[in-house]
Amino acid sequence: MQVSYFLLKKSDKISKSVIPVLALLCFLFVFSSCEGQEGNKSAIYTYQNGDPNGTGKWYMGREIAYVMGFQGMYWLNRPEREAEENTSTLIRNMQIKKGEVIADIGAGSGYHVFKMATLVPDGLVYAVDIQEEMLAAIRKRKEQEGIGNIRLIQGTEQSSELPENTIDKVLMVDVYHEFTYPMEMMASIKKALRPGGSVYLIEYRGEDPSVPIKILHKMTEQQAVKEMAAAGMVLVENIKNLPWQHCMVFKVK
Ligand SMILES: C[S@@+](CC[C@H](N)C(=O)[O-])C[C@H]1O[C@@H](n2cnc3c(N)ncnc32)[C@H](O)[C@@H]1O
């Protein structure tokens, strides 16, 4: 009969051979206690294999994508982008008014930042990114062109580092799905909004297989609404006039 390593009877003598088993049991006990302490955190983020190109980190049923490296800057600046994404229409959708303060979170090389800055000569555009190389590209162009109403902020994975209660409109283009800490980022963005402020969440349409973008870099409206609701935001409108993207406008509930 095979002897069970796990069930020790009172009559069993503790021999040297069971010491490794006891050590293993102690390890398993300590490990499971640690997991219990992580319990609250793992209720927000979970970890499991998903898409081969994914991070393996999940939030509200969605696998978070990797952050696009600054090496991909050429793709953000590609000449065919206007035709593919109709970026002029996106900017018009924002109904930017003179004097407004706007924040582009995940500004990248500043593709939208410079377009918006010309619309608010007496206002301000914050360009927020976590990669210094992206901010350096914006800084270079801003200095070359002598633009005074763009302010650069190096954020962190968990905070936009924007000043509280200062922003009229937040723009996030193709970035939310790659936030490593979406819940914390949205909390900091919400704090930065002025009363009545809006968030323009632009994501490639996950419902539309004809949009030629990898699945992890797309989002459905349903998923976005669910995640924004968790952040205390409500969908006001999804403006359906962009070729590839959702243009979802959210406000604080
Ligand atoms: C795909 S690019 C899009 C850039 C720009 N929005 C555009 O459409 O041209 C995403 C950018 O978001 C930045 N990013 C990722 N996570 C971020 C975070 N938590 N806070 C600020 N920027 C972030 C990346 O560094 C990258 O520059």
Q: What angle do CA 112, 104, 209 make, to 5 degrees?
A: 70
Distance CA 115, CA 154 (A): 20
Ligand 1 pocket test, pick from 66, 67, 160 with the greatest ligand atom count within 8 Å of Cβ, gives 67
Probe target for ligand 1 pocket from 126, 156, 178, 179, with the most ligand atoms within 8 Å of CB: 178
- Judge whether 65 lies within some domain: no
Amino acid 83: pLDDT? 96
How much is the pLDDT for 248? 99
CA–CA gap between residue 133 and residue 110 (Å, rounded): 11
Looking only at the bridges linking them, the beta strands covering 245-252 and 193-205 are antiparallel
- 159 pLDDT band, cuts 50/70/90, is very high
The mean pLDDT value for 47-73 works out to 96
Domain count, the chain: 1
Q: What is the pLDDT of residue 177?
A: 98
In a domain, 12, yes or no: no
CA distances from 150 to 130, 143, 210, 243 (A): 16, 10, 36, 28
Task: Decide: 130 in ligand 1 pocket, CB within 6 A.
Answer: yes
Q: Evaluate whether 126 touches 151 at the Cβ level (below 8 Å).
A: yes
Residue 11 lies in a domain: no
167 touches 192 (CB < 8 A) = yes
CATH number at residue 162: 3.40.50.150
Q: pLDDT tens digit string along 164-200?
A: 999 999 999 999 999 999 999 999 999 999 999 999 9
Instruction: State pTM to two decimals.
Output: 0.86
Please tell me the predicted confidence (pLDDT) of residue 43: 82
> Is there a domain that residue 27 lies in?
no
Looking at the domain assignment, is residue 70 inside a domain? no
155 CA to middle of ligand 1, Å? 10
9 versus 70: which is more confidently predicted? 70
Rounded to whole angstroms, how far apart are CA atoms 43 and 40?
5
Structure confidence at residue 17 as a pLDDT band (50, 70, 90): very low
Q: Is residue 123 part of a domain?
A: yes
Q: Tell me the two tokens of residue 112.
A: 């939208």
Residue 4 has pLDDT above 80, yes or no: no
Domain encompassing residue 159: 75-252
Please give the angle made by the CA atoms of 103, 124 and 79, to the nearest 5 degrees: 65
Tell me if 57 sits within 8 A of 47, measured CB to CB: yes
Q: Do the domain assignments include residue 40?
A: no
Given a cut of 60, whether residue 7 has pLDDT beyond it is no
- Give the neighbor-by-neighbor strand order of the sheet with 45-47: 45-47, 57-59, 62-63
In a domain, 39, yes or no: no
CA–centroid distance, residue 25 to ligand 1 (Å):
45
Does any ligand 1 atom lie closer than 6 A to the CB of residue 138?
Answer: no
**Ligand 1 centroid to residue 199 C-alpha, Å:** 15
pLDDT, tens only, 82-125: 999 999 999 999 999 999 999 999 999 999 999 999 999 999 99
Residue 224 has pLDDT above 80, yes or no: yes
For residue 21, what pLDDT is reported? 42
Q: Look-up: residue for tokens 């069971």? A: 18
d(CA 85, CA 34) in angstroms, rounded, equals 47
